[in-house]
Every structure is written in structure tokens, then in C-alpha cells.
């Protein structure tokens, strides 16, 4: 699906499938090639870490954001506050801009 690559770091997104369905969060990172990203407070996984005094790392269980496929996410439009598909608009100068498919508000490049 063409719109799946239109997520950007910092976007507010809603999870539409999987264990954390219904949750919203901010995109922390996007891997455009693998179409995988991490979202704040979504898909948390527990990591067991060993203490490493040389690097001042304490051992224990740390919760970290796990990776989630972009197709499980929808962008939440900051203008109409709804989960939406993103469509692409071309500006007069030829540059591409993302826009909300519901209300038409631009969402940045
Ligand atoms: Zn909108």
C-alpha cells in the first residue's frame, strides 16, 4: 500500500492492529526500508540486561519500545484529531506534502 511509507519521526499515531490496538503514541524512529518503526509506550518489551560496571550499566529488567510494522499504524491528524490515511499533495513548486485524507490539513513533508 502506497501510504504505508508516509510515517515520519514525531508523528502522532494510533495502533490499529495487534496487542496494543487502540493505543496512541509518538513515532520514535522509522525504518523506511523495512517499514518498521517504534512508537512511544507501544509494544513494550522487557529486556533483561546484565550489570556492566565498566559502562555503569545496572542489571535488571528494562522496558523498551518494541518494533511495530507501519501497516499496523495510522497517523492521528493534529487538526481533526482522528486516525486517518495520509494522502500526498503536490505543491506549486513541485514538492510533495502529506495531508490528512479526512480534513485535508497538511501534515508536513
Ligand atoms: Zn484531519
CATH code for the domain in which residue 84 is found: 2.30.30.30
State the distance from the centre of ligand 1 to the C-alpha of 29, rounded, in angstroms. 22
State the distance from the centre of ligand 1 to the C-alpha of 104, rounded, in angstroms. 6
Q: What is the grid cell recorded at 86?
A: 495520509
State the distance from the centre of ligand 1 to the C-alpha of 76, rounded, in angstroms. 8
Query: What domain range includes position 24?
Result: 2-48+61-108
* 53 domain residue, yes or no: no
Report the pLDDT value the prediction gives residue 4, as an integer from 0 to 100. Answer: 44
* 22 domain residue, yes or no: yes
Residues with Cβ within 8 Å of 98's Cβ and at least 6 positions away in sequence, in order, are 6, 8, 86, 87, 88, 89, 106, 107, 108, 109
Among candidate residues 77, 103, 102, the one with its CA nearest the CA of residue 11: 77
State the distance from the centre of ligand 1 to the C-alpha of 103, rounded, in angstroms. 4
State the distance from the centre of ligand 1 to the C-alpha of 107, rounded, in angstroms. 9
Say if residue 108's pLDDT is above 90: no
Give the full edge-to-edge strand order of the sheet including 86-90: 86-90, 96-100, 106-108
* 55 domain residue, yes or no: no
Say if residue 109's pLDDT is above 80: no
Report the pLDDT value the prediction gives residue 65, as an integer from 0 to 100. Answer: 95
**Mean of the pLDDT values across residues 44-66?**
89
* 11 domain residue, yes or no: yes
* 56 domain residue, yes or no: no
State the distance from the centre of ligand 1 to the C-alpha of 34, rounded, in angstroms. 27
Residues with Cβ within 8 Å of 2's Cβ and at least 6 positions away in sequence, in order, are none
Report the pLDDT value the prediction gives residue 1, as an integer from 0 to 100. Answer: 42
State the distance from the centre of ligand 1 to the C-alpha of 56, rounded, in angstroms. 46
pLDDT tier at 83 (50, 70, 90 boundaries)? very high
* 20 domain residue, yes or no: yes
Tell me the whole-structure pTM to 2 decimals.
0.81
* 85 domain residue, yes or no: yes
- How many structural domains is the chain composed of? 1
pLDDT tier at 3 (50, 70, 90 boundaries)? very low
What is the percent of the chain with per-residue pLDDT over 90, rounded to a whole number? 69
Amino acid at each position: 500500500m502506497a501510504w504505508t511509507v508516509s510515517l515520519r519521526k514525531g508523528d502522532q499515531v494510533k495502533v490499529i492492529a495487534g496487542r496494543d490496538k487502540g493505543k496512541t503514541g509518538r513515532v520514535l524512529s522509522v525504518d523506511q526500508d523495512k517499514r518498521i518503526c517504534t512508537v512511544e509506550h507501544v509494544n513494550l518489551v522487557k529486556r533483561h540486561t546484565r550489570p556492566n560496571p565498566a559502562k555503569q550499566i545496572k542489571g535488571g529488567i528494562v522496558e523498551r519500545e518494541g518494533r511495530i510494522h507501519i501497516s499496523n499504524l495510522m497517523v492521528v491528524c493534529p487538526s481533526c484529531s482522528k486516525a486517518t490515511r495520509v494522502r500526498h499533495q503536490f505543491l506549486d513548486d513541485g514538492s510533495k506534502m502529506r495531508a490528512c485524507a479526512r480534513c485535508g490539513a497538511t501534515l508536513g513533508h
